[in-house]
Amino acid sequence: MFGLRFVPDKLLLDHDSLSHYLKGVLQERKESTEILAHDILEEITNQIIPKWIEVNLRQEPNSSGQDIVVTVEDRQPSWENNELLLRLGSLF
């Protein structure tokens, strides 16, 4: 399962391109969930340079029944809006 939230700056994501990119990346995943989440964050950040971005990945439960959720975020150094971020609930 995948989740993405961001506060755009000047550029926006093309939803069709994002969907195509994610379909390819998530179907062909070979990395751990943590590395994959970081790689997705880096790819999107390099394309649109958002003020703030959060990528969430939920790994399917493993043979021990562990359910792993990875959240990575990044923001521009000068951007702060804690009121906005506090209003955001958990995606999973």
Residue 85 has what pLDDT?
94
Q: How wide is the angle at C-alpha 58 spanned by C-alphas 55 and 62, nearest 5°?
A: 150
**Contacts for 8 with CB less than 8 Å, ≥ 6 apart:** 48, 50, 51
Residue 59 has what pLDDT?
87
In the Cβ-directed half-sphere of 55, how many Cα atoms lie within 13 Å?
19
Q: From first to last of its 92 residues, what are the pLDDT tens digits of the chain? A: 899 999 999 999 999 999 999 999 988 878 899 999 999 999 999 999 999 999 999 988 878 888 889 999 999 999 999 999 999 988 88
Residue 64 has what pLDDT?
86
Looking only at the bridges linking them, the beta strands covering 69-75 and 52-58 are antiparallel
pTM exceeding the 0.85 threshold for the entire prediction: yes
Q: Residue ranges of the domains in the chain? A: 2-87
Collect contacts of 16-23 with beta carbons under 8 A, ≥24 apart.
Answer: 18/44
